[in-house]
Structure 1
Amino acid sequence: MTLVKICGIKRIEDVEYLNDLKPDYAGFVFAESKRKVDVNTAYSLIKNLDKQIKKVGVFVNEEVSVVKDVAVYLNLDVLQFHGDEPQDYIDNFDDYTVWKAIRIIEKSDVFRLRDYHVDGILLDSKINGFYGGSGVKFDWNLVKDVKDNLKCKFILAGGINADNVLKAIEAARPDVIDVSSGVEVGGFKNYQLMKDLICKVRSVKW
């Protein structure tokens, strides 16, 4: 079964939606982004989050000490590195579940998976000026065989919404669907879009 991560949580209303719909992961962005939250805001949101929903901290080229401080303070379940972090940077976080994002625009980008030994590989669209959250999909045919060659969790992101999520799952068979802008209206999380996407993902058995 494919799991669901809703990323870019920044309002108490978002948390209320999550608690009702119960996706598997909630993402909190600590990098420069329109969805960025400060640590204290994240703390107040997480305090109200259903304990069954795992907390993912999203970082981009952040200092190791800062990531560790945030992870401890918020008791994060997953650290997601969405920048240019090499393996020797990631090795500082052996005590945590780590996901590494790789941005894809052509087949050669897929080969970068070999550079990392992590708990999860997240594939996202490569868009100039964006480390993530662009809302633009890439060609899922480029990664249709990734699942067969990965020994870790496979997370798919980039322009996924309720209208195309079933095609995404059929094409790439990811362990986790990661969505942010695809469940937003006017830059804010939308309950109905979240519900539609989660229901569609959970209708698939493979």
Structure 2
Amino acid sequence: MKRYKVKLCGTTSIESAKMAIDANADYIGVLVNVGMSERSLNVDQAKAIVEFSKIPVMTLLYNMSVDEICHIYDKIKPYGVHLLGNTPIENIGKLKNKLDCQIWLTVYLPAEDQGEVDIEQMKELIKSYESAGADAIVIDTVSKGRYGGTGKTANWDIAKDLVMSVCVPVFLAGGINPENVREAILKVDPYGVDLASGVEIEKGKRDPEKVKKLMAEIRKVEYEVNHTLVIMSESYEETRNIGKVIGKMAFAGSVIALCGELGSGKTTLTQGIAEGLDVHSFVTSPTFVIVNQYKGRLPLYHIDTYRLRSLDDMYELGYEEFFYGDGVTAIEWAQKVEPLLPEEYLRVELEYVSESERKITIKPYGQRYVDIVNQIK
């Protein structure tokens, strides 16, 4: 089961550290003697947080010599040192020989609107760090001469390419917050995320509500990733049979959200759902009437939102009667009414591959829908 690690960086106080611990973060980050950062602490302040913390603390150090790093480590005794700036590769080997701790390195991508990057050169740099003994890599953003702590995102497609090129854990940093962490994780699939400003009220002051929301979003995306099923359907019959299993397992109040372009197989899958529900009428697309109703083991409500002008049309339709009633709702073009979908539902994404092939991605939200996915497997 996949679990994404969380490092809350820029910790400036015991109170802030406690907030991270209570939220079940995996690591705390403390900047030490980093003059350009508003979140930087001195050695004594950092040591107090290390001694208090029940979870690993990483000390972040910027462009320091091996001797300086060793001196600070000896004073603080953190879980590890996280090196910022431009670290000479030979320094990693020296530090591995001198320190009994984790050594993390940051590499930098430009902010999305601020220049190109040589991907192959970046891969070589990361591999050099890895070969020299780095225990983890953090991909962060550089913006207008500031390395990290920018609150800006980089190109996540490039970040994903970098993550896939190495074996050591890779954390994604740079502009991550509760609103975009789901997208970041699904797009990059990092070992973990590393952030500061995304959960702050102001620089150096952490917001408990933002921290809570961040962790909730991460746990939700973990649930999604761990239970998602991807199937390559090679025929109309295979797509219909998947729907048939869903129909047989469906329960009163089931909502099946069907997402995909024209011709991707949404109606075909719904026909299978109808068969699984013992519906004997022929199921057609309800595009021009918005909703068709069929009698079966449970009522089937087949909704097509393709022609809806706005969410107001769904309110006029009385969608709650379908979503929370005693039947099964299969809704095509569900992405158009995403805000109205219940907390628990089954999402089915269909993608046209060829005349006969469809890529079908099934995501359950809620244990009863997980049971359906397990039955399809």
Question: Distance between the aligned counterparts of 1:114 and 1:129, measured in 2?
Answer: 24
| Counterpart check, 1:97 vs 2:102 | yes
Query: SS where residue 27 of structure 1 aligns?
Result: strand
Query: SS where residue 145 of structure 2 aligns?
Result: coil
| Counterpart check, 1:45 vs 2:46 | no
CA contact (8 A) 1:58 1:80 kept: yes
Following superposition, the deviation at residue 99 of structure 1 comes to: 1.0
Question: Distance between the aligned counterparts of 1:16 and 1:75, measured in 2?
Answer: 19
Alignment correspondent of 1:113:
126
Alignment correspondent of 2:196:
180
- 1:113 maps to amino acid: I
CA contact (8 A) 2:7 2:195 kept: yes
Query: SS where residue 25 of structure 2 aligns?
Result: coil
- 1:2 maps to amino acid: Y
Alignment correspondent of 2:74:
72
Query: SS where residue 144 of structure 1 aligns?
Result: helix
Query: SS where residue 162 of structure 1 aligns?
Result: coil
Question: Distance between the aligned counterparts of 1:173 and 1:204, measured in 2?
Answer: 11
Following superposition, the deviation at residue 199 of structure 1 comes to: 1.8
Alignment correspondent of 1:60:
62
| Counterpart check, 1:193 vs 2:210 | yes
Within the candidate set 172, 180, 200, 1:164 is matched to: 180
Between the two structures, name the one with larger relative contact order (CA 8 Å, sep ≥ 6).
Answer: 1
Question: Distance between the aligned counterparts of 2:101 and 2:39, measured in 1?
Answer: 23
Structure 1 window deviating more from structure 2 (159-168 vs 41-50): it is 41-50
Report sequence identity in percent: 27
Write the deviation string for residues 49-71 of structure 1: whole angstroms up to 9, x where unpaired.
22xx1110101111212211222
- 2:180 maps to amino acid: N
Aligned 1:128-143 pairs, distance under 5 A: 128-143=144-159
**Unmatched 5+ residue regions in structure 2?**
111-115, 226-377
Question: Distance between the aligned counterparts of 1:29 and 1:86, measured in 2?
Answer: 20
Question: Distance between the aligned counterparts of 2:57 and 2:202, measured in 1?
Answer: 24
CA contact (8 A) 1:6 1:179 kept: yes
Larger Rg computed on CA atoms: 2
Within the candidate set 146, 153, 159, 2:169 is matched to: 153
Q: Any runs of at least 4 consecutive aligned residues in structure 1 with deviations exceeding 6 A, and if so which?
A: none
Following superposition, the deviation at residue 81 of structure 1 comes to: 0.8
Question: Distance between the aligned counterparts of 1:169 and 1:146, measured in 2?
Answer: 14
Write the deviation string for residues 6-46 of structure 1: whole angstroms up to 9, x where unpaired.
00111222022123112000000012210100010111222
Q: TM-score of the superposition, structure 2-length normalised?
A: 0.52
**Unmatched 5+ residue regions in structure 1?**
none
Query: SS where residue 146 of structure 2 aligns?
Result: coil
Give the paired residue count. 204
Alignment correspondent of 2:19:
17
Question: Distance between the aligned counterparts of 1:199 and 1:92, measured in 2?
Answer: 40
Following superposition, the deviation at residue 48 of structure 1 comes to: 2.0
Q: TM-score of the superposition, structure 1-length normalised?
A: 0.93
Question: Distance between the aligned counterparts of 2:207 and 2:24, measured in 1?
Answer: 14
CA contact (8 A) 1:29 1:37 kept: yes
CA contact (8 A) 1:146 1:172 kept: no
Question: Distance between the aligned counterparts of 2:73 and 2:221, measured in 1?
Answer: 33
Question: Distance between the aligned counterparts of 1:100 and 1:140, measured in 2?
Answer: 19
